[in-house]
Amino acid sequence: MEAALKNYDDVDSWKTVIFLYNAALKEVGTKLEILNDEFQHVHRYNPIEHIKTRIKTAESIVKKLKRNGHETSIENMVRYVNDIAGVRLICSFTSDIYRLAEMIGNQSDLKVLSVKDYIKNPKESGYKSYHMLVAVPIYLSDSVVDTKVEIQIRTIAMDFWASLEHKIYYKFEGNAPEYISRDLKECAEMVSALDERMLSLNEAIQECLDQQKDFDEPDDPEEAEERMMLRKEISLE
């Protein structure tokens, strides 16, 4: 992208950057919707509950550059700020997270640049999520520009905790009292326990449904015919 911006002044460069990141969000969003629709078609199940997209504000970009010791410029913004364009996928269960990550990684026109698994390795605060940084090609009239998009995948429970944690820390500008940080971490552990319990419950339900299906649809044709006759006899009674 840096090469694509060399012929513009700062104002036009900013507009071009935002245009490219918005285009990248559209591309990734469409791919994810298609994957979700395909999963529903094949498995009768939607792994994605919600898809949220956003472009980082200019204020947030400048703060991040300064926090990391970089001068404020369009070039540094593109080079060092990887989450300007962000997509958040909200799933029901933790198993959906890794399934979706694999499906995204298998997209031939998406290049996975890095992965951060904060589910297996949570942050000190208790934050859990699965982050993927991908590059998506944006086809313009005279060029192709690879544009970075950060994809965050998390469960409903993880998203609930992360949203409230962000609001609480925002009020303290990142300097919350120790007891609040401790309580937040305890809440994160409760969220993890809830996710594990709900996943186990879902697996138990699926096992029961599979057993019922095996009973209702026997492999043996003679047994299937016998059951059909029995159903007819019961209905006549």
Task: Give the residue numbers marked as catalytic.
Answer: 150
The torsion defined by the Cα of 196, 200, 205 and 207, in degrees rounded to 10, comes to 140
Instruction: Provide CB contacts within 8 A for 138, sequence distance 6+.
Output: 20, 23, 24, 27, 144, 145, 146, 147
Distance CA 1, CA 21 (A): 10
- Please report, for residues 55, 74, 122, 193, 232, the alpha-carbon distance to residue 179 in angstroms, rounded to integers and kept in the order given: 33, 40, 19, 21, 67
Residue 187 · residue 130 · CB < 8 Å: no
Query: What is the H or E stretch that residue 2 is in?
Result: none
Distance CA 192, CA 211 (A): 29
The two three-digit tokens of residue 13, written as one number: 């460069």
Query: Environment class of residue 200 by beta-carbon count within 10 Å: exposed (0-12), middle (13-18) or buried (19+)?
Result: exposed
